[in-house]
Structure formats: structure tokens, C-alpha cells
Amino acid sequence: MRVGLLSEGGYPYAAGDGGEWCDRLVRGLGQHDFELYALSRSARQEDSGWHALPGNVRRVRAAPLWGGPAPGCAGRAHGAYGREQRRRFGAHFGDLAAAITLPGDQAYRFADALDGLADLARDEGGLAAALRSEQALRALENACRAPGAQPAAYGARVTDLLVVSGLLERALRPLSLDWYGTADGDRGLSGVDLCHATSAGPAALPGLLAKRFFGTPLLVTEYEVGLREYYLDGPAGPSPAVRTLLASFHRLLAAHVYGRAAVVTSGDGQARRWQERCGADRARLRTVHPGMDASLYEEVGEGAPGGDGRTLVWVGGPPEPPLWEAFAALREAEPGVRLHIVGDPAEDAPAADGVTHGRNGGPDVFATAAVVLFAGTADGFPTALVEAMFCGRATVSPDTGAVREVIGGTGLVVPPRDPGALAEACLALLHDPARRARLGAAARARALELFTDEQNVAAFGALYLEVLSRAPVQHPAPDPSVPFAHAVGDRPPLTRSPRSASPTWAGRP
């Protein structure tokens, strides 16, 4: 199988997000060939270099989502457009602008506009110049001033529209790339059997085009739901109008990607609920837990419980005031209890006896712990909690995020920000070494079953086969009158021509 792995700000860049799991995936599925299509986020990221790539990576194509358009995606200058090209661009970009400025369900309008822009980019060799043109700016302004537009959009200034227009051009830049086959025989994404996108943002756009033009199935994986991060942190826009318009664009784009993908995966139930809330079909959702290298924790996890039986280790984020209240109560009940906090001390942290700090965690730190306390304040998958489970340690965690899903019944869960419950749970475990040992052994068994690299790679390997099994069947001599008779690999690459209104495989001589 030939897989097109699509990333944004990630693999194969050494400074990218999620590069480790992508590298493990590619190496673990050595029986498949991978082609990497990477979108970078900054010059600094590009300067960081790449991961050492395994032999089954057959090619790497990269393009920036920053600065000016990359070579190969500029297309015809907007000034060279004829009347028909200007009309098509104005209609499709106007619909896209209306979709992101009007309230209510605009999914149909957004999908039609995106498909129309993709077709125009195919015919004209790219849209970079058009998306930065005065015509695009005026279309965006007209949509913001139209009756019924969102109040924040209606108040957009010219400077806001310039910012939004520039950021939309970057987000839509994958439409203009030469990744979909060229006349010189480079098949690009027309030659892969499956596209696997590592986000539902711009990285998935090449997969959408491959599905539209060639029927290639699309798999989307989100270990961090980008739209969720966008809502929580917000874009770095100078005004509410910019934030509103960009949030609306990314919401519609994510819903469109979810709707076109054959399967959408997440790392835990919390991310999966976000995906479903943002438009993903529950029937196409799967949970594939992140994998970790269990061998790093084997010596500690398989050994006898170490430490002095009185050390608590805090991991997963900076300590909060309830921790200090709980620790004070513990020291009053058990004066010999000590607390080790993984992470640098905060400037306003209170001075307390029996408290130490360490910048790094890892097996050696967990080996000293009688009980591991998980902060639970950070969003996302609780990696530090899983590390403690691999080390066979009893844990106490707040009832937040994906904690219950990850820990099951192998640790104690207390209400968040409740110092009394936290102190009581810690004291119960400190007074019962046998219970600590049972919980630690159960936690390690659960981690080995659910959170290893092997299970992660095996799960994706099975999903690849599942998705491809639903793709059109390849026939030696497909009958053009039979719907879906063409397999993915049968279609020749697109031919971009500044004068053609259809690709060569559509019948143009």
C-alpha cells in the first residue's frame, strides 16, 4: 500500500508537533510505502531539519504556510485572468466569504465554494495571486457588510480585512500546490492508495482534493483537536472581527473535512466528543490511544516497589493551591511525608518543609514514589499519568479530562480542587502498602494493554486495511459506464493548463 501522510507543522520536521508518533507509525508499518506531504509553519521550523527517515519513505514534498507563496503554487497572475476566470473566482470566493460571515448552518455553501475554488486552482495552476487580489478583498468586505452578517464581522475595518485575506490565502495555499500530478509524469497524490492527514485543518486539504479528483480515501487523525485549541486560545488577531472570521472559517473547514473523511480518529474520549460536537459522524469515529515505548519503564515497572514508602511525586503540570493545603494536612497527620514536584518552582510558591523540585521526570523519579499525584490541569492526553502506570505506581488524580478513561479502576480519582479529598486519598494509600502494590500492578497491566507503541501501530494498520477495503475495486480493463469502476491507481495525474477548463482525463484532446 502507498500512503500519503499529510502534516501541518509536524513530521518530518524535527521541531514539529507530533513528529514522534508519525515516525513510529512509518517505521512500524514497514510493509507499506509512505509519501510525506508536509506544510511548515515557520522558517525556524524548516531550519530545524528533519527526522532521520526510514527506507519506506519514498518521497517528501514540503511547502510553507508562512511568507509568500511557495514555488509551484503561484499559478497565473490575477491580472492575466480573463472575464470567465474572474467571474468564477468572484462567485466561489464570494460564497466562501458569505459562509464565514453569516450565522447559521453554512456548511453547504462552504463546501460548494471550496470545491469551486479547487476546480479553478486546478485549471489555472493555482490561486495565490487571486486570493491576494483586490477582488478577493472586496468580496470579503461585501460579505461582512451584507444584511444578516455577524455583528463582529459587520464591524470589520479595512486593516482587519487585509489580515483575514492574507491568512485565508495561507490556509487555502494547499489548493494551489503541484502535489496532484503534473504533465511531466510526476503522479503526486494521484498515485497513492490512501491519504492520512494528521489534522482536520489545512493539512487535510490535499487529502480532500485527492478524494475529489481521484477518489482516494481519506483518514484523519487528531491527537489534539485543532479547532478546540483555536476556540480556547483564540487566533492572534488584532480585533474581534479577525478572531470571529477566522474561527468561523476553521470551524467550517473542520466540519467539511470530518464529513468527507472515511474515518476520523482521536486519542481519547474527550477529543472524540469535540470532534462529534464539531460535525463528525459518530459512525466514522474511532479512538486510537497514543503509544509509548514501554521498554523505557520496564526495569522500574517489573521491579519491587522502591522508595521509602512516604514520598509523593507530583507530575503533569504546575502545583495549585489545593495541593499545598492537602500537603499541610498530610504533614500534620504524617510528619515524615515528603513531596517531590516535577517542574521548576513557581515564583509565588509557598516555602514548605519536605518539598523538593526537579525539572525532569522519568523512570528514576517514579522509582522513588510511593504514590504519584497527577495535576490534571493541562488539556490533552495525560501522558505523565500513563508513565506512572507503566512504572507500576499507585496514583491519585482529579476527575478531569480523560483521566477516568485512561486509568480505569487502577487508581484513585478525587474531585478536582478538593484538598480534603486529595489528602484523604493519599493518606489511605500511604497506610496500605498492599493496596498500593495491587493498584500499581493493575495500572501497569492496563498500560501495557492499551498504551504501547505496538498497539498504536497495529490499530492504524488495521484502519488502513479497513478504509482501503471500501475503496473502488481495481479492474484490469474498467468499464467507464460502470460507476466507481476505476480504482485509485487507475487515474492519470492532472494536467494544469492556463487555457483549459477541464483536465485531460475528462476528455479534452
- pLDDT tens column, 84-97: 889 999 999 999 99
- pLDDT tens column, 254-296: 999 999 999 999 999 988 998 998 889 999 999 999 999 999 9
Average pLDDT over residues 463-487: 66
3-state secondary structure 342-379: ECCCCCCCCCCCCEEEECCCCHHHHHCCCEEEECCCCC
Give the model's pLDDT for residue 77.
64
State the Cα–Cα distance between residues 269 and 264, nearest whole angstrom: 13
- pLDDT tens column, 97-143: 999 999 888 999 999 999 999 999 988 888 888 898 899 999 999 99
Please determine, looking at this structure, whether the domain spanning 2-74+178-287 carries the CATH number 3.40.50.2000: yes
Q: For 31, which DSSP code?
A: T
Neighbours of 60 (CB within 10 A): 15
**Cell (9 digits) for 170:** 495561507
- Per DSSP bridges, beta strands 355-358 and 338-342 are parallel
Closest CA to 371 of 403, 340, 348, 402: 340
| Cell 492520512, residue located | 196
Give the model's pLDDT for residue 66.
86
DSSP SS3 for 4: strand
pLDDT > 80? residue 229: no
Q: Residue ranges per domain, the chain?
A: 2-74+178-287, 294-450
Return the CATH number of the domain spanning residue range 294-450: 3.40.50.2000
User: Do 2-74+178-287 and 294-450 have matching folds?
Assistant: yes
Average pLDDT over residues 179-186: 79
Identify the weakest region by mean pLDDT among 73-87, 93-107, 344-358, 492-506.
492-506
pLDDT > 70? residue 179: yes
Neighbours of 52 (CB within 10 A): 8
pLDDT > 70? residue 487: no
pTM, to two decimals: 0.87
Strand order across the 33-40 sheet? 57-64, 33-40, 2-8, 194-197, 218-222, 263-266, 285-287
pLDDT > 70? residue 485: no
**Cell (9 digits) for 447:** 498500560
The more confidently predicted of residues 275 and 17 is 275
